[in-house]
A and B are shown apart, each in its own frame.
Chain A
């Protein structure tokens, strides 16, 4: 277990140490503020922007989608990079098992993705709280924020990190980029709708509607939420199982 923690620790440290991580965070924060900053113009444009829960929901649907795919691209080279740099040979010659290596890489990616998404949501909600003209107590910001991190942040981080770490180890990375680009545009075309959403949406499926619901569509479809959650976690787990089962991935034992 200590060896898994060691891999998690250094994967996390390496990813957070990359300038591109912070570049993506700042760039997407700027986009989020342009769209959601509680200025007079934005408040007039967006009917529900006066509600902190709506702000967090909107940030999760649209801006977390962009940052998630940015992180997905950063994480996607982890295992191919080990092959390229010769580090995979070091791992295989060390007294660690295939599952320790894979779980270490996966949870390193997961904790990194969750950290960046959490920082992004906290930072933007903080800016909103400081500049909004509406008076609200701390609970009005904290409750949707915590809800978003649990309901949205964890499954989305799980989906993004597991797919980004495992799939490029099993397929051509260019095909992976193509597939994720398709998924991104499918998602980007459906963000923020009040109507029932397809299960394959990453940050704007019916699961995310648990954070905030449109007053004219106050319906909760449990099956749709379950399907969305199953898609996010199931894809992550399936990709992980496929990698664990892949022959010729590790030393022959």
Chain B
């Protein structure tokens, strides 16, 4: 059984904004990445999965339970870390996690200590949340999501604003969680995180599902199409942008180097380079120049 099954999901807000349109995909075990730029619909989709938002059409099931009809079952199986979580500054780390544990029906001090150990917060469990760094707060956030031994972890933009060390630590926590067949649905717009962590990916673009599959397959889509073009000045760059999708530019030796997506093999003189997941992502998003 798939951990999450989404079928023809549509969410239209009362102000007429179509946040999600006819989304269908499934998520098995392991870490599944949800990519997309800001406003693509990632947070809306996650809120619908954790039963906070009701879809306009379509269905979502989590471990076989329908989110509309069996919301209580779904909520008892999931751990959720929202994108913006600043928590209660006057509570200690231990008290905050205990609070969330009590809401999930896990009033076991030993279990709370265990999750604090997992995220490396055992040494500061008595410290007030208001006195923690951004990275530590995110770790408390993941600790409260891990409490109650959930089958599915829904994590919305967990590494935004974290320093590289904290990001690596975060990846470690998520990898350990997913190791024994449990599921992590991770939304991000940091391609590096998705590349390092996720076996499977979905890319959302303007509320629609643009890609669903493995990271390797996504790379295949752009393999051989990424090239470097050397330019003398910005006028040439402007002209190039008319003809090709420019992924990035770098200024060097008095000139410019543009990394382009050469879909029609029109730039024969350009130097082919190995594609990265970031290239593939930008391709999915319609290119830098189109943003």
Q: Bound state CA distance, A251 and B90, in angstroms? A: 27
- Within the complex, the shortest CB–CB distance from B102 to chain A, in Å, comes to 3
Instruction: Tell me whether A87 is interfacial, beta carbon within 8 Å.
Output: yes
Do residues B87 and A87 form an inter-chain contact, with CB atoms below 8 A? yes
The dominant DSSP class at the A interface is: helix
Indicate the member of A10, A89, A91, A251 with the most B CB atoms within 10 Å.
A89
Instruction: Tell me whether B100 is interfacial, beta carbon within 8 Å.
Output: yes
Do residues A94 and B104 form an inter-chain contact, with CB atoms below 8 A? yes
- Within the complex, the shortest CB–CB distance from B234 to chain A, in Å, comes to 43
Closest to B104 in A: A94
Contact of B86 (CB < 8 Å), options: A86, A93, A94, A253: A86
Do residues A253 and B71 form an inter-chain contact, with CB atoms below 8 A? yes
Instruction: Tell me whether B259 is interfacial, beta carbon within 8 Å.
Output: no
Contact of A90 (CB < 8 Å), options: B76, B95, B100, B102: B100
Closest to A18 in B: B90
Number of A-B contacts (CB under 8 A): 85
In the bound complex, residues from chain B placing their C-beta under 8 Å from that of A9 are 102
- Within the complex, the shortest CB–CB distance from B85 to chain A, in Å, comes to 4
User: Chain A residues in contact with chain B, CB under 8 A?
Assistant: 2-3, 6-7, 9-10, 13-14, 17-18, 84-87, 89-96, 251-253
Instruction: Tell me whether B3 is interfacial, beta carbon within 8 Å.
Output: no
In the bound complex, residues from chain B placing their C-beta under 8 Å from that of A87 are 85, 87-88
Instruction: Tell me whether B177 is interfacial, beta carbon within 8 Å.
Output: no
Do residues A95 and B85 form an inter-chain contact, with CB atoms below 8 A? no
- Within the complex, the shortest CB–CB distance from B155 to chain A, in Å, comes to 12
Q: Can you give 29 contacting A-B residue pairs, CB < 8 Å?
A: A2-B102, A3-B103, A6-B99, A6-B107, A7-B103, A10-B88, A14-B88, A14-B91, A18-B90, A84-B86, A86-B83, A86-B87, A87-B85, A87-B88, A89-B50, A89-B80, A89-B85, A90-B80, A90-B100, A90-B103, A93-B50, A93-B51, A93-B75, A93-B80, A93-B82, A95-B75, A95-B104, A95-B105, A252-B53
In the bound complex, residues from chain A placing their C-beta under 8 Å from that of B103 are 3, 6-7, 90-91, 94-96
In the bound complex, residues from chain B placing their C-beta under 8 Å from that of A91 are 103
Q: Bound state CA distance, A85 and B87, in angstroms? A: 6
Flag B26-66 by CB within 8 Å of A: 1 or 0 each. 00000000000000000000010011111000000000000
Do residues B88 and A6 form an inter-chain contact, with CB atoms below 8 A? no
Flag B71-114 by CB within 8 Å of A: 1 or 0 each. 11001101010111111101100010011101111010000000
Instruction: Tell me whether B144 is interfacial, beta carbon within 8 Å.
Output: yes
Contact of B72 (CB < 8 Å), options: A2, A7, A10, A95: A95
In the bound complex, residues from chain B placing their C-beta under 8 Å from that of A251 are 51-54, 71
Q: Bound state CA distance, A3 and B43, in angstroms? A: 27
Known: A93-B50, A93-B75. A85 touches B104 (CB 8 A): no
In the bound complex, residues from chain B placing their C-beta under 8 Å from that of A17 are 90-91
Do residues A6 and B102 form an inter-chain contact, with CB atoms below 8 A? yes
Do residues B72 and A14 form an inter-chain contact, with CB atoms below 8 A? no
Do residues A86 and B84 form an inter-chain contact, with CB atoms below 8 A? yes
Q: Bound state CA distance, A86 and B88, in angstroms? A: 10
Q: Bound state CA distance, A17 and B88, in angstroms? A: 11
- Within the complex, the shortest CB–CB distance from B273 to chain A, in Å, comes to 41
Q: Bound state CA distance, A87 and B99, in angstroms? A: 11
Flag B228-251 by CB within 8 Å of A: 1 or 0 each. 000000000000000000000000
Indicate the member of A3, A85, A90 with the most B CB atoms within 10 Å.
A90
- A sample of 9 more A-B contacts (CB under 8 A), given A85-B88, A92-B52, A93-B154, is A6-B102, A13-B91, A86-B84, A89-B80, A90-B144, A93-B75, A93-B78, A93-B82, A253-B54
In the bound complex, residues from chain A placing their C-beta under 8 Å from that of B85 are 85-87, 89-90
In the bound complex, residues from chain B placing their C-beta under 8 Å from that of A253 are 54, 71
Indicate the member of B71, B88, B105 with the most A CB atoms within 10 Å.
B88
- Within the complex, the shortest CB–CB distance from B152 to chain A, in Å, comes to 11
Identify the 4 closest CB pairs spanning chains A and B, nearest first. A6-B102, A252-B54, A86-B85, A93-B80
